[in-house]
């Protein structure tokens, strides 16, 4: 890194050293930071900024001591104390003039940004500030149960959990995320481990909303199907993503269309009633590099203006979302499923690939073939997650009305072009 710093020049390289400042008794100790900076310098690097992690706000005397002993300016030391949510950290840095210090160190004060982008940036910052700071005054809790196959490692669903957080912030509710292993909901597990079985079903039956995320393979899918049935019959808000949509279709085919052997080609290639099939362009002999990937359009169908899901998009005709799948709803069964009440409100450009399902008279029963969590951001949450969480929180009508007004910042550009003067 020291070689890189010399090669690119001081104004093109900036090192931020993060150091812990422990609180012993009532005194903030600086020795660990001093020693850490000394060790880094012995390796040929000189930190430009020192970010001090601490339990309480960094005291002025501590800040000056670190600046003096580590041979940096006062404004090159910033305190990052514990806050109620990590989304408040940018606000904490902004109050300490962090951005101005960065501009000075990187010598970018002469860059001119168009006034339009400056105004957009101000709006985005105001929105971020309002969302983050409001979390200190949120007390109502919404319980969402995530029924997945890899719940022992929560990071497997990191994008999903972040998308739920974004939605909860806009709904002004606290998120209580309950993890349920889908295999624990299956009848076989009742014999193997009754305690886990009943604990899992208690979580599902008491949740405000049920989410089934993406996944691959047969394990645990019967539990997901049972869970989708519970959400449908008990009028509990439901969101199925990728595999979640597919198990919802299988459940509907079995229990409403009387297709008792309905299954997925992924789980049973010999199924006599395949509700989910390989996409025709997929090579069954290969597994690597065969998925339908990337951002693709979904077209809302005529006569679906009633859709709660579509209304969150302002009744647009077309939306773009990211995909990652190799199976799809069997197009030969679509008419039968729709005649039984399952609406395929969104399809691809060809009209043959199903993208979104919804039940008309349900509080929120939506399945999407795409992965909406990939495009969710703090300021612009995924509409799929926002609608689902709002329905679970009992504020869907309010969110639908307000999100399309002043609160919808999806038109803003996050990375404006800049011109040097």
Tens digit of each residue's pLDDT (9 = 90 or more) over 284-325:
666 666 788 899 999 999 999 999 999 999 999 999 999 999
Task: Kindly report the CATH number assigned to the domain that includes residue 88.
Answer: 3.40.50.300
Q: Are residues 6 and 75 in the same domain?
A: yes
* Domain co-membership, 379 together with 273: yes
Alpha-carbon span 243 to 266, nearest angstrom: 10
pLDDT of residue 286: 64
User: Alpha-carbon distance 367 to 245, whole Å?
Assistant: 4
pLDDT tens track for 322-364: 999 989 999 999 999 999 999 999 999 999 999 999 999 999 9
Tell me how far apart the alpha carbons of residues 25 and 41 are, in angstroms, rounded to a whole number: 30
| 220 plus 366 within the same structural domain | yes
Q: What is the C-alpha to C-alpha distance for residues 405 and 50, in angstroms, rounded to an integer? A: 41
The token pair at 19 is 């150091």
Q: Are 321 and 372 in contact (CB under 8 A)?
A: yes
Tokens of 161: 């959990």
Q: Are 66 and 50 in contact (CB under 8 A)?
A: yes
In a domain, 414, yes or no: no
Both 100 and 151 in one domain: the answer is no
- Nearest Cα neighbor of 249 from 217, 212, 279, 281 is 212
Residue 285 pLDDT: 65
Strand positions, DSSP E, 60-183: 77-81, 111-112, 141-148, 174-181
Whether residue 18 is contained in a domain is answered as yes
Choosing from 67, 87, 110, the residue where a domain stops is 110
> Is residue 19 pLDDT above 50, yes or no?
yes
Question: Is residue 148 located within the same domain as residue 87?
Answer: no
Look at residue 312 and tell me if it is in a domain.
yes
Assigned domain for 126 exists: no
Instruction: Give φ, ψ of 296 to 5 degrees.
Output: -135, 155
* Cα–Cα distance list, 244 to 29, 210, 261, 310 (Å): 51, 10, 19, 19
d(CA 309, CA 110): 45
Residue 368 lies in a domain: yes
Q: What is the mean pLDDT of residues 102-121?
A: 89
DSSP letter for 394, please.
T
DSSP state of 412: S
Does 122 reside within a domain? no
Q: What is the count of structural domains for the chain? A: 2
Cα distances from 186 to residues 148, 211, 224, 243, 402, in angstroms, run 13, 17, 8, 17, 40
Same domain, 69 and 196: no
The model's pTM is: 0.88
Nearest to 384 by CA among 352, 349, 358, 347: 358
**57 and 101 share a domain?**
yes
User: What six digits make up the tokens of 272?
Assistant: 């006599």
**Domain assignment present for 128:** no
Q: Which of 62, 89, 110 is the last residue of a domain?
A: 110
User: Which of these, 156, 233, 147, lies nearest to 183 by C-alpha position?
Assistant: 147
Tokens standing for residue 366: 């939506």
Same domain, 150 and 278: yes
Burial degree of 243 (CB within 10 A; 0-12, 13-18, 19+): buried
The DSSP bridge partners found for residue 147 are: 180
End position of a domain, from candidates 110, 126, 157: 110
pLDDT-derived band at 411, boundaries 50, 70, 90: very low
Alpha helices in 107-218 (DSSP H): 115-134, 158-171, 187-192, 194-205
Domain co-membership, 103 together with 187: no
> Mean pLDDT for the chain?
92
35: domain range?
A: 1-110
CATH number, residue 241: 3.40.50.880
List active site positions: 242, 371, 373
User: At 414, is the pLDDT very low, low, confident or very high (cuts 50, 70, 90)?
Assistant: very low
Q: Same domain, yes or no, for 148 and 100?
A: no
Range scoring the smallest mean pLDDT among 88-97, 112-121, 186-195: 112-121
Which residue in this structure is represented by tokens 């339009």? 116
Alpha-carbon distances, residue 223 vs 133, 188, 244 (angstroms): 39, 10, 11
User: How many beta carbons lie within 10 A of that of residue 76, not counting itself?
Assistant: 18
pLDDT of residue 404: 65
Q: Is the dihedral of CA 194, 195, 200, 205 positive or negative?
A: positive
Nearest to 269 by CA among 327, 184, 211: 327
Shared-domain flag, residues 174 and 260: yes
- Residue in 211, 195, 202 with CA at minimum distance from that of residue 151: 211
Phi, psi for residue 146 in degrees, rounded to 5: -100, 115
Q: How far apart are the first and last CA of the chain?
A: 30
**Residue 33 forms part of a structural domain:** yes
Q: Do 149 and 88 sit in the same domain of this protein?
A: no
Name 371's bridge partners: none
72-111 confidence digits (pLDDT tens): 999 999 999 999 999 999 999 999 999 999 999 999 888 8
């Amino acid at each position: 890194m020291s070689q890189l710093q010399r090669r690119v020049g001081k104004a093109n390289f900036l090192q931020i050293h993060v150091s812990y400042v422990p609180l012993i008794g009532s005194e903030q100790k600086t020795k660990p930071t001093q020693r850490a900076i000394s060790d880094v310098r012995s390796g040929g690097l000189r930190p430009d900024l020192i970010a001090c992690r601490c339990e309480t706000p960094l005291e002025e005397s501590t800040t000056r001591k670190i600046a003096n002993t580590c041979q940096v300016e006062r404004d090159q030391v910033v305190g990052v104390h514990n806050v109620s949510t990590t989304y408040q950290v940018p606000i904490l840095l902004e109050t300490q003039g962090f951005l101005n210090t960065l501009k000075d160190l990187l010598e970018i004060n002469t860059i001119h940004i168009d006034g339009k982008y400056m105004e957009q940036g101000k709006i985005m910052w105001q929105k971020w500030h309002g969302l983050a700071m409001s979390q200190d005054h949120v007390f109502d809790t919404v319980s969402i149960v995530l029924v997945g196959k890899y719940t022992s490692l929560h990071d497997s669903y990191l994008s999903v959990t972040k998308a739920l957080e974004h939605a909860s912030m806009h709904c002004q509710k606290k998120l209580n995320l309950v993890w349920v292993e889908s295999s624990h909901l299956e009848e076989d597990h009742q014999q193997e481990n009754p305690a886990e079985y009943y604990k899992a079903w208690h979580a599902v039956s008491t949740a405000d909303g049920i989410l089934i995320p993406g996944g691959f393979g047969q394990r645990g899918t019967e539990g997901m199907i049972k869970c989708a049935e519970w959400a449908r019959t008990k009028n509990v808000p439901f969101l199925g993503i990728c595999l979640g949509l597919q198990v919802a279709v299988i459940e509907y085919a079995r229990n409403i269309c009387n297709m008792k052997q309905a299954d997925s080609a992924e789980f049973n290639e010999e199924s006599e009633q395949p509700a989910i099939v390989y996409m025709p362009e997929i090579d069954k002999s290969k597994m690597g590099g065969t998925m339908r990937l990337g951002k693709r359009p979904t077209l809302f169908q005529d006569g679906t203006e009633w859709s709660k899901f579509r209304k969150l998009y302002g009744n647009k005709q077309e939306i773009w979302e990211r995909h990652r799948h190799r199976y799809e709803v069997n197009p030969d069964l679509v008419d039968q499923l729709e005649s039984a009440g399952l609406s395929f409100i969104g399809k691809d450009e060809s009209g043959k690939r199903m993208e979104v399902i919804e039940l008309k008279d349900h509080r929120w029963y939506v399945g999407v073939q795409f992965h909406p969590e990939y495009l969710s951001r703090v300021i612009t949450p995924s509409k799929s997650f926002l609608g689902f969480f709002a329905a679970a929180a009992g504020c869907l009508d309010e969110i639908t009305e307000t999100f399309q007004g002043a609160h919808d910042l999806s038109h803003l550009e996050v990375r404006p072009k800049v011109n040097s003067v």
